[in-house]
Amino acid sequence: MGSPNQPVDALLQDYLHRNERLRRFAWVFTAIPLALFVLLSVLAAREGREYLRLSEEIRQQTIRLQELQKKNDVQQLAIKFVQQQSPGERPKVVVYRLAVAGQVTDALKTLGYDVEERVKQANPALADKPVDTLSYGCSVRDQDIRTVATALTNAGIPIRRIVPAERNPDPNLIQVISSGITEETQNPLSISEISTWTRSSRPCQGQQPPGY
Amino acid sequence: MPCDCTGTIQTLIDADKKYVATCCWIYGIVLTVSVALTVCLSVFVIKNNNLTSLSGLLANGLVFPLVPKHLQRARALTVMEGLMRECGRHAAEDPPCKRIADAVDAMLRSITGAV
């Protein structure tokens, strides 16, 4: 700060120094906030980009969820329909081939049937023969057999024969097997044939049916 | 021959011009950076969101503290240029020169705090 008796030249020099300092301050106090602003903008933009990506993902997941809900509704309807057609206890479905286990499960789970895999009990002699036969226990209802056969046919597993069970004593069991008796040349049952199929053997009458 | 204080006034005019030029440079740089930032945000980062991508223009707010001082200096510059013209119209020994020199002296003392 200058004194009251300073000559004009000294005051002028003081003023010029102040002016230079002011200019430097103007540069510094603009450059630093500007740099910070740019840095924070870049960081915020990155977060914004991530937010947009996640928003898009949420939108896609929501669409997928809606599709799954629709599919689920259809499956629930199918289960309800099957339950109405064949009220009471459902037969268990057993599959012995690992290769088709997934297909069978997918086709029948949606209809409310329990599918059990018994891969270890598969007959090694028929390992090369494709699954083509349904074997049913004596207390399995015809409607359940028709439903299972139709579902398997629609899932790409052709059924050539539907026969009463001979070895497994469980009366409420449907087995998806490859039978040595079923000819590979035999035509698979069509959907219309399956829909009109009825068993030839009698249902259980409180005792084991013949053949057990 | 013009007033003796002509040199002093010219120095003050040059200093003020320098400060005003500095302010203009800063405005230009901040504006360029803000526009570049806005373009980068809208084109490369935040697409389909105009309001957010325009946030780069907020950087222009950083120059607001400079504006009052800039305007003050611009006004002072106008006054100094007026005094300069006045000095050119009088001879060194004319009474108005003395008044102008006193006014410049008083102004310098006021600015530098040497009252």
Q: Which of A57-61, A141-145, B84-88, B93-97 has the highest mean pLDDT?
A: A57-61
| C-beta atoms surrounding B53 within 10 Å | 22
- Going by pLDDT thresholds of 50, 70 and 90, the confidence category of residue A67 is very high
Say whether A11 and B114 touch across the interface (CB within 8 A): yes
Q: Residue A69: is its pLDDT beyond 60? A: yes
- Going by pLDDT thresholds of 50, 70 and 90, the confidence category of residue A8 is confident
Best of A5, A14, A30 to substitute, by most chain B Cβ atoms within 10 angstroms, is A30
Distance CA B102, CA B5 (A): 9
Say whether B45 and A2 touch across the interface (CB within 8 A): no
Tokens of B102: 């006193």
The predicted pLDDT at position B49 comes to 65
- B15 vs A2, A3, A15: nearest CB: A15
Q: Do residue A75 and residue A128 come from a single domain?
A: no
The closest alpha carbon to B45, from A128, A43, A193, A104, belongs to A43
**Which residues of chain A are within 8 Å of residue B11 when distances are taken between CB atoms?**
12, 16
Q: Do residue A101 and residue A152 come from a single domain?
A: yes
Report pLDDT digits (tens) over B36-73.
988 888 877 766 666 677 788 888 999 999 999 999 99
In a domain, A120, yes or no: yes
Q: Do residue A35 and residue A66 come from a single domain?
A: yes
In a domain, A123, yes or no: yes
In a domain, A209, yes or no: no
- Going by pLDDT thresholds of 50, 70 and 90, the confidence category of residue A207 is very low
Say whether B111 and A52 touch across the interface (CB within 8 A): no
Q: Do residue A50 and residue A128 come from a single domain?
A: no
The predicted pLDDT at position A24 comes to 94
Among A129-133, B6-10, B51-55, B77-81, the minimum mean pLDDT is found in B51-55
The predicted pLDDT at position B27 comes to 96
Q: Residue A208: is its pLDDT beyond 50? A: no
Nearest chain A CA: its distance from B11 CA (Å):
8
Domain hosting residue A150, numbered range = 89-195
Nearest chain A CA: its distance from B49 CA (Å):
10
- In order of A80, A90, A161, A183, B57, the CA distances from A96 in angstroms are 28, 19, 17, 19, 70
**Which residues of chain B are within 8 Å of residue A23 when distances are taken between CB atoms?**
18-19, 22
Q: Do residue A190 and residue A93 come from a single domain?
A: yes
Q: Do residue A191 and residue A114 come from a single domain?
A: yes
What residue of B is the nearest CA neighbor of A53? B46
- Domains of chain A: total: 2
Distance CA A112, CA A106 (A): 10
Q: Do residue A38 and residue A124 come from a single domain?
A: no
Average pLDDT over residues A1-10: 63
Tokens of A169: 């004593």
The predicted pLDDT at position B115 comes to 60
Among A70-74, A116-120, A165-169, the minimum mean pLDDT is found in A165-169
Distance CA B96, CA B3 (A): 9
Contact in structure between A105 and A184 (CB atoms under 8 Å): no
Bridge partners of residue A92, in order along the sequence: A173
Q: Residue B1: is its pLDDT beyond 80? A: no
Q: Do residue A36 and residue A99 come from a single domain?
A: no
The predicted pLDDT at position A12 comes to 85
The closest alpha carbon to A197, from A154, A162, A170, belongs to A162
In a domain, A202, yes or no: no
- Going by pLDDT thresholds of 50, 70 and 90, the confidence category of residue A210 is very low
In a domain, A117, yes or no: yes
What does B24-43 look like in DSSP terms, one character per residue?
HHHHHHHHHHHHHHHHHIII
The predicted pLDDT at position A212 comes to 36
Contact in structure between A175 and A149 (CB atoms under 8 Å): no
What residue of A is the nearest CA neighbor of B9? A12
In a domain, A208, yes or no: no
Report pLDDT digits (tens) over B26-35.
999 999 999 9
The predicted pLDDT at position A211 comes to 37
Report pLDDT digits (tens) over A21-62.
999 999 999 999 999 999 998 888 888 888 888 999 999 999
Say whether B49 and A38 touch across the interface (CB within 8 A): no
In a domain, A207, yes or no: no
Q: Do residue A73 and residue A99 come from a single domain?
A: no
Q: Residue B77: is its pLDDT beyond 80? A: yes
Say whether A26 and B105 touch across the interface (CB within 8 A): no
Q: Which of A54, A85, A116 is the last residue of a domain?
A: A85
Contact in structure between A37 and B62 (CB atoms under 8 Å): yes
Q: Do residue A22 and residue A80 come from a single domain?
A: yes
Q: Do residue A125 and residue A183 come from a single domain?
A: yes
Alpha helices in chain A (DSSP H): 8-85, 98-109, 142-154, 191-195
In a domain, A27, yes or no: yes
Higher pLDDT, B21 or A76: B21
The predicted pLDDT at position A209 comes to 42
Q: Do residue A95 and residue A81 come from a single domain?
A: no
Query: CB-based contact (8 Å) between A55 and chain B?
Result: no
